[in-house]
Amino acid sequence: MKPTQKFDEEVKKNKEINKLLNQTKKVRKFNILILGTGDAGKSTFLRQLRVNCGGGMPAVERQRFINVLRDNCLTAIQKVLIAAKDFNIPISEEHEANINAIISSNELSSILLACVGTAWFSDLISETLKKHNLLQIPGGISGIKYFVENAERFSNPHFEPTDDDIARAKLRTTGINEVTIRVEEEEINLIDVGGQRSERRKWLHCFTIVNAVIFIVALNEYDMVLEEDGITNRLLESLKLFQLLTGTTCLSEKAWILFLNKSDLFETEIKHVPIANFFPEYTEFEKQCSSSNTQTQSQCDIGIEFIKSLFVSQVKTGKVYAYTTCAVDRYQCERIFQVVRREVLEHSFELVGL
Kindly report, residue by residue over 181-229, the tens digit of the pLDDT. Answer: 887 778 888 888 765 555 556 666 666 778 889 999 999 999 998 877 8
Question: Are 79 and 137 a contacting pair, CB within 8 Å?
Answer: yes
Check residue 342 and give its pLDDT: 82
C-alpha dihedral, 37 to 41 to 42 to 47, nearest 10°: 160
Q: Is the same domain home to 127 and 182?
A: no
User: What H or E segment, with its residue span, contains residue 215?
Assistant: strand 212-218
What value does the mean pLDDT take over residues 310-318?
87
Residues 156 and 200 in one domain: no
Domain's final residue, options 103, 136, 167: 167
User: Residue 155: its pLDDT value, please?
Assistant: 95
Do 106 and 250 belong together in one domain?
Answer: no
Q: What is the pLDDT of residue 103?
A: 95
Percent of the chain scoring above 70 in pLDDT: 83
Does residue 318 have a known ligand-binding role? no
Q: Does residue 5 or residue 275 have the better pLDDT? A: 275
Q: Which of 184-188, 213-217, 246-250, 312-316 has the highest mean pLDDT?
A: 213-217
Same domain, 137 and 281: no
Residue 40 belongs to some domain of the structure:
no
Same domain, 79 and 99: yes
Query: Are residues 183 and 109 part of one domain?
Result: no
Cα distance from N-terminal residue to C-terminal residue, the chain: 27
Asked which of 167, 183, 205 is the last residue of a domain, the reply is 167
> Residue 109 sits in a domain of what CATH number?
1.10.400.10
Fill in the amino acid letter for 43: S
Domain boundary, last residue among 132, 147, 167: 167
Is 194 known as a binding-site position?
A: yes
pLDDT of res. 350:
60
**Mean pLDDT lowest for which of 68-77, 128-137, 279-288, 344-353?**
344-353
Q: Is residue 144 part of a domain?
A: yes
- The reply, when asked if residue 173 is annotated as ligand binding, is yes
Average pLDDT over residues 264-279: 92
The CA distance from 285 to 185, in Å, is 44
Question: Structural domain of residue 150, as residue ranges?
Answer: 60-167
Instruction: Mark whether 323 and 194 lie in a shared domain.
Output: yes
For position 22, what pLDDT does the model report?
60
What is the pairing mode between strands 186-193 and 176-183? antiparallel
Does 99 have pLDDT greater than 90? yes
Number of separate domains in the chain: 2
> Which residues lie below 8 Å from residue 149, measured CB to CB, with a gap of 6+?
none
Of 240, 170, 176, the C-alpha closest to 33 is 176
Whether residue 173 is predicted with pLDDT greater than 70 in this model: the reply is no
**Do residues 263 and 295 share a domain?**
yes
Q: Is 196 annotated as a binding residue?
A: yes
Q: pLDDT category, 11, cuts 50, 70, 90? A: low
Q: Is 208 annotated as a binding residue?
A: no
- 271 belongs to an annotated ligand binding site: no
- Does 24 reside within a domain? no
pLDDT given at position 154: 97
Is the pLDDT reported for residue 124 higher than 60? Answer: yes
Assess whether 146 and 234 both reside in one domain: no
C-alpha distances out from residue 37 to 42, 230, 233, Å: 9, 15, 12
Q: How confident is the model at residue 148 (pLDDT cuts 50, 70, 90)?
A: very high
Structural domain contains residue 46: no
Q: Which of 138, 249, 276, 248 is nearest to 196 (CA)?
A: 138
User: Which of these, 262, 17, 15, 319, lies nearest to 141 by C-alpha position?
Assistant: 262
pLDDT on residue 89: 92
Q: Is 143 annotated as a binding residue?
A: no
User: Do the annotations mark residue 263 as ligand-binding?
Assistant: yes
Look at residue 352 in the predicted model and tell me its pLDDT: 43
Binding residue per annotation — 54?
A: no
Together in a domain, 93 and 192: no
- Among 118-132, 142-156, 183-197, 222-236, which stretch is predicted with the lowest mean pLDDT? 183-197
User: Residue 191 and residue 52: Cα distance in Å, rounded?
Assistant: 17
pLDDT > 90? residue 152: yes
Question: Other CB atoms closer than 10 Å to residue 6's CB: what's the count?
Answer: 10
Looking at the chain, the whole-number percentage of residues with pLDDT higher than 90 is: 42
> Are both 102 and 136 inside the same structural domain?
yes
Query: HSE on the CB side for 29, CA within 13 Å?
Result: 5
Q: Is 261 annotated as a binding residue?
A: yes
Q: Are residues 212 and 279 in the same domain?
A: yes
